[in-house]
Amino acid sequence: MAIKRVADTRSARQVFAQNLRLARRALGISQEELADIVGLHRTYVGSVERGERNISIDNMEALAQGVGSDIPTLLKR
């Protein structure tokens, strides 16, 4: 009997948001600390992590680097 895979229906924005939050928490830093590291506002980082922002590639790159990662890794489902 074959195992059926359940389709991941999350958008790329939602995947990025969840992976960013997990990476930030793994580092033990707050949204405010991450914002300071990458030069963005704390409320912006929060809205990205909630999947509310249609984030630019430049900000994706900055946030990924801020958590010691890269964009492709943070977009992995």
Q: In angstroms, what CA-CA distances link 9 with 15, 19, 37, 64, 76?
A: 10, 15, 31, 22, 13
Residue ranges of domains in the chain: 12-74
The per-residue pLDDT for 8 is 83
The per-residue pLDDT for 1 is 65
pTM of the model: 0.89
Distance CA 2, CA 48 (A): 37
Print pLDDT tens along the chain (77 aa): 677 777 789 999 999 999 999 999 999 999 999 999 999 999 999 999 999 999 999 999 999 999 999 999 999 99
Instruction: Name the superfamily (CATH) of residues 12-74.
Output: lambda repressor-like DNA-binding domains (1.10.260.40)
Residue type, 29: I
